Structure 1
Amino acid sequence: NIQAKEDAMKVMVIGGGGFYGRYLVADLLKFSEAKILVVSRNPPADLANHPRIQTVACDLHDRDRLCQLMRSCGLVIHCAGPFQYLPLTPLLVAIETRTDYLDLAEDRRFNQEVQALQPEIEAAGITVLTGLSVSPGFEMLFAEMGKHYFAELTGIRTYAAPDTRKHRGPAMFATMLMGVGQPFWQPEGGEPRLVHGWTEPEWVEFPPPIGRRLTHLVLEMAHLDLLPDEMGVGTVAFKAGTEWTVLNRLLNLSARIRRRWGWPRWERLTALVRALSWLMGRFGKDEGGVIFALTGRSHGRELTHRLAINARRDGGLIPASLASIAASRLISGNLQASGLVPLNNWLTTGELLDELRGRGLEIWWQPDGAAAWERLPAGLPANPAEGLANPTGWPTRRVGGPVRSAGVR
């Protein structure tokens, strides 16, 4: 019983030495009592000095070694690259060892493969949350929040302004360059539309201190399926842009070249682009943010309300925070869910905003027609619409299921 309790409090973080993995590990140390097993091909020496962290060298594809390590943990979090064409190995091992599983995966195909494993996940009796990043994780929660502003929620457009000061790993750069000029279908007005990565420039005003950014469509991601299927929205888009407008324009030019001639394969230049990014990062900014522009109908009018998450420092915390929140709640037994858990209602709106504010993240609000952003230091944004089908309809309960600690069977 003592060993089972210790295992339940041990979290295995695959890729814990990477850019987002480090944010995740630091957040878990601060907001949980978990012991952490950092698994990486080349474990960073500095993490091994913490009394609650153990580091182990292991390849993502080494199924036998992963199985051995996972049997001593109550929860595994997968945040390693590559972020496109992600292998299923950690999830398959989690099913085999009956270990709860979380990941930060954004890839559309990966999500489809995970959805196909739902019978095996339920048979194993484990909790699985996939996509706990900005997309689709935060998008689904903010769509659930936002649907109560409208008689009908019809679309969600997400805009990301990443920080650039801290250096990201090669997996992120390879993923970004892989998407340059690549075609994919995304829903618009309920119909599929062919688009290309790093095209369709759009200037967007973020809350302070970020300000105006030039953004572009980025990648084919899981939200393109999940938001229409689970939330019934007809329009979905995700755009991003750094504070370096010239870099954004170069990526757009590269996309147009690849779209016209089918070459070059920009991902082959990952090492060069990463080196240039490191140099630019010496002058980069540490803040980051994300906007969720929610469109819907009310009283015969089409409205767009905007909600935003802002980090005045450590912008990379935003994509990593959702997995840490879920992990802490699983470990403490406060997450009432099992099986393949829907992303839109495992947290109530109040719980989500409290968790974000507790991490020093700001919530901003811009209702339809407003000229400026308004910061919300506490509570929920006021509903500007009248006569809604559910005027007080903020979500007040999570998805059902037995309360249990991670790893306790």
Structure 2
Amino acid sequence: MNDRVLVIGGSGRIGDSVARDLADRTQAQITVTGRKNRANLFPYQYLQLDVSDRETLSEAISQSNLVIHCAGPFLDRDASVLETCIEQGVNYLDVSDSPAFVRKALTYRDAAKKAGITAILNSGIFPGISNSMVRQGIEQLDTAETVHLSYVVGGSGGAGVTIMRTTFLGLLEPFRAWIDGRWQTIQPYSDREIIEFPEPYGKVGVYWFDVPEILTLPESFPVKTAIAKFGSIPDYYNRLTWGVARFIPKKILKNPATIEFLSQASYRMTQMTDKQTGIGVAIRAKIEGTQAGKPTQVCLTLTHPDTAIAAGAGTGSIAQLMLNGQLQKSGVFPVEQALSTDLFEVAMSSRGMHIAQQLTTLESKE
């Protein structure tokens, strides 16, 4: 009997990319879900489902071998999908991009371990592939002290309006980041920094953003600092987002109607500029530490012409490994704790995704 995979939120752009990646590389029977009746639009089984409908959710999960949660935004999601998977003994994978959600999910570690299920958080592109790039770089050093992740996306990234909602929701509150060995408070979309990305992106301004990587990486690796910054092209989107974070009163910004207006307006804007900028993504992971007693830097970069497809590859590759039994680890884990570098490199190579690496010995700071 074929494996049965349930892609919750599979009617969205990211979920559909995950389903297509699996359909191309496995014999799994795939069911995608969405809140509206759109069964005629997908080449898979379709289930109309709202994740708040616990009865229908439980029934769908009970008929699956693997559940992939793609129904964002995750900021206000509870962990009911993960909880139900634990109750049903079904493996779980998600594309969560919210530290608040990750904190909730990690409280189920013991329950998942007791149930014997593998639950992996933060798959996708960033977080996801980016986290595994950090692990890949850290393993080339004797010790690692600083992780600096930088991301740039062209326009909409080929994703839907949910990504816009996620961006504006991320501007609501200050957040904590692990800097110089202690947790420090950071203002969202602050501290602009110019990063040199591979072509066709070149120099792009990036800003602090509240992402799960800065929560999980200090737990996964003994680093003193973990930084993650995000930017988009064209650059005036960065300026507009910075302005929203600085000048719209938080009381107004927290209104769901405001978030929805900004999200819809931004999405319509990107539909016009995507033709000029493309919808690709670039990641730069710079890790500084020591090797053979000398200060050393590892810089890894990845580009892809379609952000949503890249996210689908990140999640689909992990799902494939889980289905064929190569990735089994009882408990709840962020992706960098669950996926070995060997498996990651093979998965990326099989999807034609090349990660460039440069190892540089630095001058001593003494």
Q: TM-score with structure 2 length normalisation?
A: 0.90
TM superposition shift of 1:27: 0.5
- Contact 1:181/1:199 (CA < 8 Å) preserved in 2? no
| Closer/same/farther in 2, CA of residues 67 and 190 from structure 1, 3 Å limit | same
Matched, 1:290 2:283: yes
2:175 is matched with 184
Distance in 2 (alpha carbons) for counterparts of 1:45 and 1:278 = 25
Q: Secondary structure at the match of 1:294?
A: strand
Q: Structure 1 residue 232 and structure 2 residue 222: aligned?
A: yes
Answer yes or no: is 1:63 the counterpart of 2:54.
yes
Q: 2:116 aligns with which of 98, 117, 125?
A: 125
1:21, distance to aligned residue in structure 2 (A): 0.8
- In 2, Cα distance between equivalents of 1:310 and 1:290: 6
Q: Is contact 2:157–2:307 with CA below 8 Å preserved after alignment?
A: no
**What residue identity is the alignment partner of 1:354?**
V
Out of 191, 208, 215, the residue aligned to residue 199 of structure 2 is: 208
Match of 1:276 in 2: 269
Q: How many angstroms does 1:348 deviate by?
A: 3.3
CA deviation digits over 1:22-50, x for unaligned, max 9?
A: 111111011111111001102544543x2
Whether contact under 8 Å (1:203, 1:214) holds in the other structure is: yes
CA–CA distance in structure 1, aligned partners of residues 74 and 328 of structure 2: 28
Query: Does the alignment pair 1:72 with 2:63?
Result: yes
Q: What SS does structure 2 have at the residue aligned with 1:316?
A: helix
Q: Per the alignment, in what secondary structure is the counterpart of residue 353 of structure 1?
A: helix
Aligned equivalent of 1:335 = 327
Output one character per residue of 1:214-234: Cα deviation in whole Å (capped at 9) or x when no partner: 111122x32233211221112
1:316 paired residue number: 308
Q: Distance in 1 between matches of 2:13 and 2:154?
A: 12
The separation in 2 between residues aligned to 1:182 and 1:173, in whole angstroms, is: 17
Q: Could you tell which deviates more after superposition, 143-152 or 183-192?
A: 143-152
Give the conservation status (yes or no) of the 8 Å contact 1:181–1:256.
no
What is the count of residue pairs matched by the alignment? 357
1:363 aligned onto 2:355: yes
1:307 aligns with one of 268, 282, 300: 300
- For 2:230, the aligned partner's letter is A
Distance in 2, matches of 1:304 and 1:149, equals: 10
| Residue 66 to residue 199, structure 1, CA distance change in 2 (3 Å) | same
Which piece of structure 1 moves more, 24-33 or 282-291? 282-291
Counterpart CA distance in 2 for 1:354 and 1:59 is 35
Structure with a larger share of its residues in helix: 2
Post-superposition CA distance 1:323-342 (Å, at most 9, x none): 21121112222224223246
Alignment partner of 1:243 out of 233, 252, 257? 233
Q: Distance in 2 between matches of 1:67 and 1:345?
A: 28
Unpaired runs of 5+ residues, structure 2, are: none
| SS of equivalent to 1:239 | strand
After TM superposition, list the pairs within 5 Å mapping 1:255-274 onto structure 2. Answer: 255-258=245-248, 262=250, 264-265=252-253, 267-268=259-260, 269-274=262-267
The aligned counterpart of 2:138 is 147
- In structure 2, C-alpha distance between the alignment counterparts of 1:162 and 1:357, rounded to whole Å: 22
Q: Please, which of 75, 93, 102 is the counterpart of residue 84 of structure 1?
A: 75
Kindly provide the amino acid, as one letter, of the partner of residue 116 in structure 2: G
Matches within 5 A, 1:25-174: 25-45=19-39, 47-48=41-42, 50=43, 53-164=44-155, 167-174=158-165
1:401 aligns with: none
SS in 1 for 2:233: coil
Which deviations, in whole Å up to 9, do the C-alpha atoms of 1:143-185 show, x marking residues without a partner? 3322233332112111112233665323211110122363111
For 1:117 and 1:56, the matched residues in 2 are separated by 27
SS of the equivalent of 1:185 reads strand
2:111/2:331 contact within 8 Å kept: no
Helix, strand or coil at the partner of 1:109: helix
State the alpha-carbon separation in 2 of the partners of residues 175 and 253 from structure 1.
17
Instruction: Please give the root-mean-square deviation of Cα atoms over the aligned residues, in Å.
Output: 2.3
Report the AA paired with residue 224 of structure 1: I
Gaps of 5+ in 1: 371-409
Deviation at 1:243, TM superposition (A): 1.7
Greater Rg over alpha carbons, structure: 1
Measure, in 2, the Cα distance between the counterparts of 1:353 and 1:343.
14
Report percent identity of matched pairs.
24
Between Structure 1 and Structure 2, the one with more strand by share is 2
Structure 1 residues 44 and 295, CA, compared in 2 at 3 Å: closer, same or farther? farther
Shift of 1:83: 2.7
Relative distance call for 1:292 and 1:223 in structure 2 (3 A) is same
Deviations 1:258-302 (A, max 9, x none): 4xx545405242222222222222433133221111121346654
Residues 150 and 284 of structure 2 are in contact (CA less than 8 Å); yes or no, is this contact kept in structure 1? yes
Taking a change above 3 Å as real, the CA distance of residues 214 and 179 of structure 1, as seen in their structure-2 partners, is same
